[in-house]
Chains A and B, each alone.
Chain A
Amino acid sequence: MPQDVTALQLVLSGDPALFAIVRLSLYVSLSAVVLAALIGIPLGAWIALTKFPGRQGVIVLLNALMGLPPVVVGLAVYLALSRSGPLGSFGLLFTPRAMIIAQTVLVMPIIAALTRQTIEDLWIEYRDELTAMNLGPLGRVTALIWDARFSLVTALLAGFGRAAAEVGAIIIVGGNIEGFTRTMTTAIALETSKGDLPLAVGLGLVLIAIVIAVNALAWTARRAGERLAG
């Protein structure tokens, strides 16, 4: 990586090392959001629509888990994936997959908690209509998730924001290995400590640009969808 160039030059020149880092960051964060959504949306909807003992406690816990410290998650996933851990035999530690797992653990509560709130609010509005239509549990859940889709985009964006900005968990389970597990956030931390500020700043600019672009894209899609569906 050249040392005597500016952050902007690095970005504009399409520096291969920088863009490899960007690609990996997006791969890890987007994969984590997808996995977290696959778990979190059904889980949130289930909690929203089901009465069971201890439900209030589960909701409080889920909301609290939105603030999980990334380093604690990183440590827990590290212990689980380390050679002596329960999942050590899979050999996932210090791989992008380990980073995806850690970020999924971080993001899932955010998506589940926001989904729970969204679906519960919508259920209050729809309960009479869907009950009168004699709709079964599966029909209710799918109808509510579909009709809450624009609000759920916000939950996914919150999850993506958390994943994209996170460094504590992935640096522990990924190891920040150059060309393999180095992401934008871990590289920024490393390069800053080494004094390579142009690369750190360049990566920071790209990271911010990506977060803004993803949010803008989602916002545009949401507005277009709302115009069509109300």
Chain B
Amino acid sequence: MRAPSSELPIVFDGVTVTAGAVTILDRIALTLAPGAPTMLIGPNGSGKSTLLRVAMGLLAPSRGRITWGGLENVPPLKRAIVFQRPAMLRRSAAANIRFALRAAGIPRAEHARRTVELLELVGLGHLADRAARRLSGGEQQRLALARALARDPAVLFLDEPTASLDPTATKAVEDIIRAVSERNIKVVMATHDLGEARRLAGDIVMLHRGRIVETAAAASFFDRPQTAEAKIFLAGELLV
């Protein structure tokens, strides 16, 4: 089990992100603390992916500030992210993981063992030598998860990792996410799939038009949504 990370909590303090005249995130105040997975939900364009990028440190706020464990400008040594459409390096599955291990500064002597472990963790041990780009969509997502875990992260950001997967592949990815969470790795995941949010979430952050409209424990959110936006979204109606 992992010790609590010095990169947690991640605190958003009035974070605003703009692109030209468009406000993508609007005065976000949020604390991501150790514990069960946090699900970011909301319709397309609500700002989920941008929030993840800011949390990862890939995107600087236009206004406001973000801190990791109380510090600003912390390099992403213990943070990792899996994108909705992860780029597979033009190498084998195993070589993709070895690349991530090298990038993370893991000693070369550990690469072989860690590569096998990670491939087994995501159920790709039998495809170690397969070209990563020739894997199916679900297999690529699992490889991307393994590559992210190669960094031995304390926080794992997932940007709709099952968005384009069939139910079988989705279940495989969700099983890995549960296993990761049980290792005391904080999972912060964007999804617009309410079923997935119900299955995985410890708590929910709902975004709409770049603003947080509701934050709650998952059970409370689904049983007693407090805002009109959350009620509409949960009712399966179009939230525009």
Contacts and interface: CB of A to CB of B under 8 A. Distances in A.
- What DSSP secondary structure best describes chain A's contact surface? helix
B134 A230 contact: yes
A126 B132 CA distance: 14
B133 A230 contact: yes
A132 B80 contact: yes
A132 B99 CA distance: 13
Contacts of B103: 130, 133-135, 139
A134 B91 contact: no
Given A128-B58, A132-B56, A134-B103, A228 B131 contact: yes
Nearest to B80: A132
A159 B92 CA distance: 29
Contact of A129 (B86, B90, B95, B131): B86
A1 interface: no
A74 to B, nearest CB: 39
Interface string A81-106: 00000000000000000000000000
Contact of B92 (A126, A139, A229): A229
A143 B91 CA distance: 11
A132 B87 contact: no
B176 interface: no
A229 B75 contact: no
A230 B151 contact: no
Nearest to A147: B90
A125 interface: yes
A130 B80 CA distance: 11
A229 B83 contact: no
Contact of A229 (B77, B80, B91): B91
Q: How large is the interface on A (under 10, 10 to 19, 20 to 34, 35 or more residues)?
A: 10 to 19
A230 B76 contact: no
A147 B89 contact: yes
Contact of B81 (A132, A226, A227): A132
B75 A126 contact: no
Contacts of B58: 128, 131-132
B131 A227 contact: yes
A126 B131 contact: no
B232 to A, nearest CB: 32
Nearest to B151: A133
Nearest to A135: B103
A230 B87 contact: no
Given A227-B131, A230-B131, A230-B133, A134 B89 contact: no
Contacts of B104: 133
B88 interface: yes
Contacts of B132: 230
Interface in B74-132: 75-77, 80-81, 83, 86-92, 95, 99-100, 103-104, 131-132
13 contacts: A126-B87, A128-B58, A132-B58, A135-B103, A139-B103, A143-B89, A143-B99, A147-B91, A227-B131, A228-B131, A229-B92, A230-B90, A230-B133
Given A135-B103, A230-B91, 18 more contacts: A125-B87, A126-B87, A128-B58, A129-B86, A129-B87, A130-B103, A131-B58, A133-B151, A134-B75, A134-B77, A134-B103, A147-B90, A150-B90, A228-B92, A228-B131, A229-B131, A230-B92, A230-B133
